[in-house]
Chain A
Amino acid sequence: MLQTLSHLSEPMAEVSDEALVIKCKKDPQYFAVLVDRYVPKLTRYIRRRSLATSDDIDDLLQNIFIKVYRNINEYNTSLLFSSWIYRITHNEMIDWYRREKRRTTLSLDDETQDLISRLMTEEDHTSRFSNEEQKQFIIKTLNTLDEKYKEILLLRFFEEKSYEEIADILKIPAGTVAVRLNRAKKELQKRLKNYGTTE
């Protein structure tokens, strides 16, 4: 029974994801720990990049973890487990968008606001975009960007992934990540320059 975790005597908090996967391959009970660990992260990620309802999110998570469990033997430690599971999530989200005929739509929550501040600090826009209304404008502007730019900004600034992790998630070379991210930031900057003149 996957649900029964009581026999796992050792403390799991200190065990890395990768070590857990290795344990999981021998004893499927450890999969429950991985699920527990990633449900909050993936829920937040899905919520940030879509306007999915709670039911949609539950369905998406279920599909994602079924895929993870079914393909657990595919995972190898040459990449981070988090990159691998985010890749599966990313692909599942694309399928979901296709099915639902939707586009990636970034949404704003408390934590996202802090991350926007981070993105804007990097872009030296702090003074101009400090209040709630202005941050809403940023989200609105982000949502007008191309899918590929929106996606890469989300992974870099909202999920705080490194270039290598983004490369592994999107299955593109790290050089392409750098180029695409740079273009995305320039495009965002260009659109934000209009702030104040159009608002």
Chain B
Amino acid sequence: MKGRAGPHPLDVPLPHDLRAAAGRASRDVALQQFVGGATLHKDRGRRETCRRAFGERYDALRRHAGAIKQHTLDHLDAYLERFIARARESGAIVHAAATAAQANEVCLAVARRHGCRLCVKSKSMVTEETGLLAALETAGVETVETDLGEFILQLDGDAPSHIVTPMIHKDRAAVGRAFARELGVAYTDDPRRLTMIAREHLREKYRRADLGVSGGNFLVADTGSVVLCTNEGNGRFCTGVPRVHVAMVGIEKLVPSMEHLTVFLKLLARSGTAQPLTVYTQVITGPRRPDEDDGPDEVHIILVDNGRTGLLRAESRELLRCIRCGACLNACPVYRTIGGHAYGSVYSGPIGAVITPALRGLRDFAALPHASSLCGACFEACPVHIDIPRHLTRLRAQIVEQRIAGWRERAGMRLWGLALRTAWTYRLAAWAQRLVLRRLARRVGRRSRDSARADAAHRPGAWIHAGPGPLRAWTQERDFPAPAARSFRQWWARERGHARAPRRDIPGQRGTPA
């Protein structure tokens, strides 16, 4: 299956220019509509579902889930050993891959050994990360994405823009066009009929496939099981029908036991899609037993590191708790505005803004930690209680320490910081700022036609419409207020500082010059 020619949406020049990508995305009205509408809907759904299910205990449950994951990560070596031993006992073949290339190579070697020609694949973020699909196709193994969203993206040569809802940036007309073009069917944008077309197309692939590839939502150390949470049932076909099943899973997906798994099953679907559970929850423990009718002859589990152990350092370990539910993407007003592709990486949204620089280099993705207003909506939504804003500011500090920040920013911020160091430099800087900005506002203010009307309604009285230098970025989008004629501390000094008769006027109220 060949996709549309053209550059891959995530094949971005490095260092990644987020502002340019964000500028394009924020002008894309269709994108706003699809992504904005869907994420708001899902975020609201999450809050309502979780409140109904957990009530006052929601926060405690998030902390509990975070603590379980944190414990597992703190003892990752022990749990990995246990998992590998149990998985081998169950008959699975376990591989470890340090890099993306190694992970793909293990999968290709399996495919070669079994002479596989057709692969059916269920949705998996780690395979997006390693680029497995391209690797299989290059090696001559026809590979079909079977998750409906991923299937559509594959037809269109597009990339997922959301961890859970990969084609959140597309509408059904785009799907209809892709189907008509690539599958030779008559155009329709009826979701039901599109689904039936895809289903018919995929059934044939499942029947003929000799390799099934999946990811894994969880790995259970006690039992050596891979747990898959899906909604469309495609995961079961991928892992049950072909004679070989390869599960590629990041090492951070471990949980200690089935009891612990239940905590995450309570939270995963509610956080991601506002469902109590995903429609299918599969626990795969080894290949088909001699007394069983179906299932693969061989199960391979590829445990992928690909930079994760680099995150195991104390200050960033918390990030590996992530269960890829997508709740932080849905909650994030920045993601909602620019969509996933603008992040220039497989992992987008708030969690992408913190793990992409860690996995792929801070220098190339230094803009990502600044792609946040630090509003905290992501932290509030995270089912495993990852304090994402804290990690954003931590990475920003690294950007400064490693001198990735430009000299202008460093100089400006140092100067600002120095001005605040003593009361007299503060007063001096404030005096200069007031002088410059009020003069600027008077000059531009005269040009404003509606200033008389608007000034009555907005204090302080004068505004800057088109600021120079550092103000330009602000006034490109909105007006900037001039400082008040007199500061609060001047008011205080006159009113309270000396034994003078109290003055009645209040600074900022009349807009009269000092």
Check if A and B associate: no
